[in-house]
Amino acid sequence: MSLFRRGEPLHVRLAREGGIGLGEPAQDPPPRGWEIDGVHGSARPRRWDVVTTVDVPELDAGHATFVALSRDERVAEEGPPGADVGPLAAAVERELDPPYRAEAVRRHGTLWAVAARSITVVALPGVAGHELELSVRDGARSLLVDGEPSFGSIPALERPDHVARARRIAGDRWEVRIDPL
C-alpha cells in the first residue's frame, strides 16, 4: 500500500471513521438543544462592554488599570504613578460613557489594547473599609467590612433578597454590584 493513498479524500476517510455519513440523511435526530449548528450550551456573560486598540506613544508602561468616574476624572489603580491614561480613556469613550472600569495592556510598540465595562458608582459618606458585602435574606441582614463581620447596615445598599458588593474607588465613592440571592 502506498504511503500517500489517493483513493479516498482525507475528509471522507475521517468522516467514515468517525461514523459520520457525508451527503446522507442523519440516522438519528440530534440531541435536544443541539439543533442549531455552533450552539453548545449557554453563553457566558460578557466580561467587557468595549474592547478596542489605540496608539499611545507617550505612555511608558506595560499595563494600566483605571476607573473613569467622569470624562474629566479618572482614578489610576495600577500602572506607572502619575501616568496620563487620557488617550486610553478617549478610545473607550468613543463607545462607552463613564463611569467604567478599564484595563489596558501594551501589545507591541505603542499599540495598546483597552477593555472596559460599565459600573455603578454610589457615594457612601462615612462608611469605613475598602470592600463591603451586605446581604439581606428574609429580612435578616449580614454585613462584612473587609471580610470581617460588622454590626449595622448600609441603607443605600439594602435590597430584599439581594447581596450588594461594594469596593471603594476614592474618597466616599464606591463601585457597587447588586445581585439577587
Domain boundaries, the chain: 50-119, 121-180
List the single range of 34-43, 64-73, 138-147 with lowest mean pLDDT.
34-43
pLDDT digits (tens, 9 = 90+) for 113-137: 999 999 999 999 999 999 999 999 9
9 vs 12, 14, 16, 151, 160, CA distance in Å?
A: 5, 9, 11, 72, 63
Res 95 pLDDT > 70: yes
pLDDT range class, residue 6, cuts 50, 70, 90: low
Percentage of the chain lying above the pLDDT 90 cut: 56
Range 28-34 average pLDDT: 54
Place of cell 496608539: 55
Mean pLDDT for all residues in the chain: 85
